[in-house]
Amino acid sequence: MAAREASERNDHRQAAATILAELKQCEAVEPSRCALLLMWAGSETFQFDYQAAERLARRAVTLTGPPDGKSYPDRAHALDFLALTLGTQGRFVEAEAPRRAALALLEQNRPEADLRVADGYNQLAGVLDRLSRHSEAEVFLRRMLLLHERHRPPGHLLIAMSYNNLADNLASQARYVDAEPFYRKAMMLREQLSPSNPSALAASYEGLGRALINLSRADEAEPLLRRVIDIRIKTFEAEEYIVAWSYDNLAMLLENRGDFREAESLRRKSLEIQEANWPAGHLTIAAARSMLATNLDLQARYVEAEPLHLKAIAAYAAVTPDDAPAMADLYDSRAYNLEGQDRDEEAERFYRRSLRARATLPAAHPRRIFGYRSLAGYLRDHDRAWSEVRSLYRVAQAGVFDRLASYSSFDREAQIELRGYQPVFTGQVRAAWTLSNMPARP
C-alpha cells in the first residue's frame, strides 16, 4: 500500500525502496514466488535508473525459469520488461531475443484474439525497425493489423493505431506513397473516435507531415507539423521529450526550404529538452546533437558543429555495431563536416564507412542510393578515382531504376523523385566523359 501511494505521487525511489524491502522478505521465505515483486520493483526503478531496472528484469527472467504452462504469463512479462530496459538504453540488438521469446510464449499459450498477441507483434516490430530491418518488421505489423481487423469492431482505435504504425514502417522503407493512405486512415478514425485523445491524433498528423515532406508536398506538410506542436504543448508539459520531436520534424521541413536559422532555433530547443529528460549518453540526446550539427554544417559553421558530431557518434558507437545502418547517416554527416574543413582524407574515410553501413539496406532504398551518390560525388569533386566514380554511379542508377519500378505508374510522385536523382545520371555521364579524355597509359 505504501509503495503504491509513493508511486501515485511520483516518488518512484521511495516506491522502489519499499517494494525491495518486501522482496527481501519474500525471497527469504519462498524465492520462486517473488517474480511479480521483482518486476514491480523494476518498473518503479525504471523511472530513474535503467541499468538497475535491467538487473531486476534479468533476475525476474531467471526466476521464472523454463515456462511450464502455468508460469508463462510471468515469464513473458519478465522477458518483455527486460527487452524494454535494453531498448530504452539503445541496446536493440540485445532486445530482440527477449522480445521474440516473449512473443513465442504468447503465441503458444493465448488465442490469436488476445490483445497481448497483437501487442507482441507490435513490440517485436518496433525493435526490428530500430535495427533498420524494416521489411521484417512490416510482416509483424501486418499480422497485428490483421488480428485487430479480424477481432475488433470496425473503426476500433487499435485498428487506427495499427494503420499508423504500419505507415511509419512503410515510410522508414521510403515507401511514402504506400504510407500516405494508411496515415490518412488512422487520422480519419482518430478524428472521429478520439477527439479527446489529441496525443494519438498528433501522431497521425506528424507521420503524414513527414511523408508529405518526402513527397515534395511541403506546403501540405507545414500546417500539419505546426498543429502537432500546438497539440503537444497543450497536452504535455512544454519541456516533454515528445514536444522536442515535434520541433525536429518542423525543423526538417524548414531546412529543406533553406530556412536554416529558424530551424536552428528549433534544433536547439529540442536538444535542450532532450538533455533535461534523458540520462547522459542516451541515443535520443545523441540524435538531437547530430541534427543540430547537420544544421550548423548547412550554414558552413563546421568548427562549431564538430564537437556535436563527435559526441553523437561516440554515444551510438557505445551500443551499436560499427557497420549498422543506424551509423550510416552519422558517418555521412561527419564526412561532410570534415570536407567543409578541408580535411579530405578523413572525410573520405567517413564516406566509405557510411557506404559500408548501408550495405544491408535494400538496393533500391534511397538511403543506400544516397551512400553511393555521396562517395561518388566526393571523389568526383576532388578529381580522383574516376573509374570508381563511374562504378558507384552505375550501382546507384540500378537502385534508382528498381525504385522507380516499384511505382504503380509514372505519376507526379515518381516524376519528382526521378528529378531528385538527376545527379546520379549526370555524374555518370561526366565520369564517362572524363575517362574517355584521359591520356592513354604508355
382 — pLDDT class (breaks 50, 70, 90): very high
Phi, psi angles (nearest 5°) of residue 383: 55, 50
Q: What residues does each domain of the chain span?
A: 1-109, 362-442
Q: Give pLDDT, residue 396.
A: 96
Q: Give pLDDT, residue 441.
A: 61
85 — pLDDT class (breaks 50, 70, 90): very high
Lowest average pLDDT, out of 39-48, 311-320, 342-351, goes to 39-48
68 — pLDDT class (breaks 50, 70, 90): low
User: What is the architecture of the domain spanning 1-109?
Assistant: Alpha Horseshoe (1.25)
pLDDT tens across 256-275, in order?
999 999 999 999 999 999 99
Q: How far apart are CA 200 and CA 75, in angstroms?
A: 30
This prediction's pTM: 0.82
Instruction: Dump the DSSP string for 312-337.
Output: HHHHHHTTS-TTSHHHHHHHHHHHHH
442 — pLDDT class (breaks 50, 70, 90): low
User: Which residues, 6+ apart, have CB-to-CB distance to 16 below 8 Å?
Assistant: 3, 41, 44, 45
Residue 273, number of CB atoms within 10 A of its CB: 23
End-to-end CA distance of the chain: 89
User: Which residues, 6+ apart, have CB-to-CB distance to 285 below 8 Å?
Assistant: 271, 274, 275, 278, 315
Lowest average pLDDT, out of 69-73, 111-115, 356-360, goes to 69-73
Question: Is the pLDDT assigned to residue 72 strictly greater than 80?
Answer: no
